[in-house]
Chains A and B, each alone.
Chain A
Amino acid sequence: MSDTSFLTHWLAACPMFAAPLLLAILGLILCERSGVLNLGAEGVMTVGAMSGVGIVVYSGSTWLGLLAAMVAGMLLSFLYALIVVVLRANQVVSGLALVAMGAGIAGVVGTPFAQQPVPGLAPLHFGPLAHLPIIGGMLFEQDPMIYLTLVLTAALSYVLFHHRIGLNLRAIGHNPAAADAAGLPVLRYRILAVVAGGALLGLAGGYLAAVSSRVWVEGMVGGRGWIAVALVIFAKWRPVRAIVGALIFGGLDALIPRLQATGASIPIYVFFMLPYVVTLIALVLAALQKDQFDMPASLGRAFIREDRH
């Protein structure tokens, strides 16, 4: 294999590994912009992955599977929203519980169709564009979900920064008491943001299982939900910046099996460590720049009306 073909193939594989991360980061941005921390991403993705593949196995349709993954993500997130938004429970401990709950549900329900292969999605073809050197495959020969994910990113960015709904959402995340005084329904916004974010997290898991991996096995989300939680900070809660983070990590994800396939003797576990080390360094760099002011000021704190000053 020549050097350029290795590069071309690797680049072409990147989007498929980056898309689930990007979807998860978008879901978390939506949720956290309203002031609700969701550490349960890993659990919601796991349930999305399991239900996605389950429905594909029983119905034969990948799109129906992705839809089911979204619905499953919404249901689990709605439970989370009830507990942390309505009952004002601690968001860190509830989020951790959500991770264990998601893994548990997926483990108990998903046993019958674990290890069963599913077809995935066929890539779209953009004619001669797909044959461009190096970047052709990466940009013009991907499955439809990749392009939909990019559209979603742009849409979320537009809504957050150029639409009244986004303004309200950010106001609630920044200062719920002031937003409440201005007449915004804080709890309703937060519940909807958590549930909509959950749909994206579920979709992220569904895509990962039903399209990228084309199989569901226990533990397959493998920490990507946690990486997404960290990458939200790296993205400074901005959807477009999330693309960069998702591509870097998706790229590493796509690189490791390829390097192994070349037979080069590399310490793979040290390689697996890299994304986490890089995230840690990225956090330190972001902190050193003292450039974190976009963080929703009420992140992780429940809103209680009597707190109004």
Chain B
Amino acid sequence: MQRWLTGVTVGGGIVFGLVVSSLLLMAAGVSPGDLFNESITTVFFDPVGLGQVVAAATITVVTGLAAAIALRLNFWNIGLEGQMGLGAIAATGCALFAPVHGFGMLIEMALAAIVCGMIWALVPGLMKLYLGISEVISTLLLNYIAAFLIQHLVYGWWRDPASGFPQTAAFGPSARLPLLGWQQVNVGVFVTLILVVLSAYALGRTRVGAYIAAIGANPRAASGSGVPVRKIMLGVVLCSGGLAGLAGFMLMAGQQYRLSPGVGTGFGFTGLMIAFLARYQPVAVLIIGVLVAGLYVAGDSLQTFNQMSSAVVGLVESIVLMSAVAADFFVRYRVIKHAAPAREQNA
């Protein structure tokens, strides 16, 4: 398959989706001028808006990577949200109840978040490998369990008595990622860039990367030629969960500074969407992750200034994704017309 053709078609699908979405939003009462201002000018050509985009992209790119590496093995990690949630719980727990002095605090939080994200991914991984249970269902159920666990904590055990809201107390300064002086952009942005480079290297240039490609193409053939399929699969699932957990930590320590209900909601679908549009390529994940972050920022201002439902971001995402997925058809298949053949005959 020609690479440029894939790029052109997916790009065409994205553009088509954006046009359809804009028309829908205008039909719903957003004026074209507002739409252009709020979704392009103030998002990408304004230092404040761009800062918000970079801050949001720090998280979306990591979730995109988490989805992409698992998708390389055709493992549909729908559970990114739950793994992020567990990461957020772990980071919060460390920040509030196990404080350490200095830089060690952030390291402790990050490690705890990665481990908890991994554990939350390990369960469906084992269920798939040893019992053949579809990871689509099991990861999804675990999302709900994680969401209710967070609510149990913020409405009960961990609730900050000083606050009227269901949330924990705010983190101390040592548990916050240092800001770089541009909006909410923090050192997490370097972590994200390093992760993109690392995963591009690992997937493209190492033996493990080659194994992953082989299993993704045909697990039986890979197993037959001596690839340790189970080990690699478990490893990849753990990496995916760990990355999602880390994203949960970055959300807590970099932006929200406290646990509240609904942490990570929507990030799971977003991560999968980014990975799918990026064809599981880490560098493409970076580019699409930034665009999707722009969509989030634009969606926020549409909500604030045009009283749109918060579901509008999901609507735009889904239209873009569906268009890109449908456009894919024209890359993979060629439509051939046959001159009215006898009925049951085929090509």
Q: Which A positions have Cβ atoms within 8 angstroms of B?
A: 39, 79, 83, 87-90, 92-94, 96-101, 103-108, 111, 183, 218, 223, 226, 229-230, 233, 267, 269-270, 272-273, 276-277, 279-280, 283-284, 287-288, 292, 304-306
**Who on chain A is nearest to B275 by CB?**
A93
Bound complex: CA A218 to CA B76 (Å)? 27
Q: Which of A100, A108, A223, A288 contacts B269 (CB 8 A)?
A: A100
Q: Is B308 an interface residue (CB 8 A)?
A: yes
Q: Does B131 sit within 8 A of A, measured CB to CB? A: yes
B325 near A267: Cβ-Cβ < 8 Å = no
With a CB–CB cut-off of 8 A, which chain B residues contact A99?
Answer: 269, 318
Q: List B contacts of A270 (CB < 8 A).
A: 148, 152
The prevalent SS among residues of B at the interface is helix
Q: Taking the complex as formed, is B136 at the interface, i.e. its CB lies under 8 A from any CB of chain A?
A: yes
Interface size for B (C-beta < 8 A) is 50
Q: Which of B151, B312, B325 has the most A CB atoms < 10 Å from its CB?
A: B325
A-B contact pairs, 14 of them (CB 8 A): A87-B328, A88-B332, A96-B269, A97-B318, A104-B311, A107-B310, A111-B309, A269-B156, A270-B152, A273-B144, A280-B138, A283-B127, A287-B127, A287-B131
Given A96-B78, A100-B317, A284-B127, A273-B148 contact (CB < 8 Å): yes
Question: When A101-B319, A104-B312, A284-B133 are in contact, do A83 and B148 touch as well, CB less than 8 Å?
Answer: no
Name which residue of chain B comes closest to A232, CB basis: B137
Look across to chain B and name the residue whose beta carbon is closest to the beta carbon of A84.
B325
- Please indicate the chain B residues that have their CB under 8 angstroms from the CB of A284 in the complex: 127, 131, 133
**If the complex has contacts A96-B269, A97-B273, A273-B148, are A108 and B76 also in contact, measured as CB distance less than 8 A?**
no
| B28: A residues at CB distance < 8 A | 108
Distance, CA A287 to CA B135, complexed state (A)? 13
Residue on B nearest A277 in the bound complex, by CB: B145
| C-alpha gap A233/B127 in the complex (Å) | 15
Smallest Cβ-Cβ distance to B261: which chain A residue: A269
Between A93, A107, A283, A306, the greatest number of chain B beta carbons within 10 A of the residue's beta carbon is seen for A93
- Report the Cα distance A123→B28, complex, angstroms: 38
The docked-state distance in angstroms from the alpha carbon of A34 to that of B132 is 21
Known: A103-B311, A283-B138. A98 touches B318 (CB 8 A): yes
List chain B residues, Cβ under 8 A from A93.
272-273, 276, 321, 325
A94 touches B156 (CB 8 A): no
Chain B residues within an 8 Å CB radius of A305: 346-347
A96 CA to B315 CA, complexed, in Å: 11
Give chain B residues whose Cβ lies under 8 Å from the Cβ of A88: 329, 332-333
Known: A226-B144, A229-B137. Is A101-B127 also a contact (CB below 8 A)? no
State the Cβ distance, A258 to closest chain B Cβ, in Å.
Answer: 19
- With A107-B312, A269-B151 known as contacts, the answer to whether A280 contacts B141 (CB < 8 A) is yes
| 11 further A-B pairs in the complex, CB-CB below 8 A; given A107-B310, A226-B141 | A90-B325, A93-B276, A97-B273, A98-B318, A103-B314, A104-B312, A104-B313, A183-B344, A270-B152, A280-B138, A305-B347
The chain B residue with its CB closest to the CB of A306 is: B347
For residue B155, CB closer than 8 A to chain A, the reply is: yes
- A267–B156 CB distance below 8 A: yes
Interface residues in B113-136 (C-beta closer than 8 Å to A): 127, 131-134, 136
> A280 — nearest CB in chain B belongs to which residue?
B141
Q: How many Å lie between the Cα of A233 and that of B136 in the bound state? A: 12
Given contacts A87-B329, A97-B318, A100-B317, contact A273 B133 (CB under 8 A): no
Contacts of B78 in A (CB 8 A): 96
B326 sits at the interface (CB 8 A): yes
Given contacts A88-B329, A107-B309, A233-B137, contact A101 B318 (CB under 8 A): yes
A83 pairs with B310, CB closer than 8 A: no
A92-B76, A267-B152, A288-B131 known; A83 and B322 CB under 8 Å? yes
B244 to chain A, nearest CB (A): 16
Q: Mark B74-103, 1 if CB is under 8 A from A, else 0.
A: 001010000000000000000000000000
| Distance, CA A270 to CA B152, complexed state (A) | 7
Please indicate the chain B residues that have their CB under 8 angstroms from the CB of A103 in the complex.
Answer: 311, 314-315
B105 interface hit (Cβ, 8 Å): no
**Which B residue sits closest to A98, measured CB to CB?**
B318
Q: How many angstroms between the C-alpha atoms of A276 and B124 in the bound complex?
A: 14
User: For the complex, is B316 an interface residue (Cβ under 8 Å from A)?
Assistant: yes
| Chain A CB within 8 A of B170 CB | no
Instruction: Report the bound CA distance from A253 to B73 in whole Å.
Output: 37
Docked-complex contact A104 and B144, CB < 8 angstroms: no
Contact B272 A87 (CB under 8 A): no
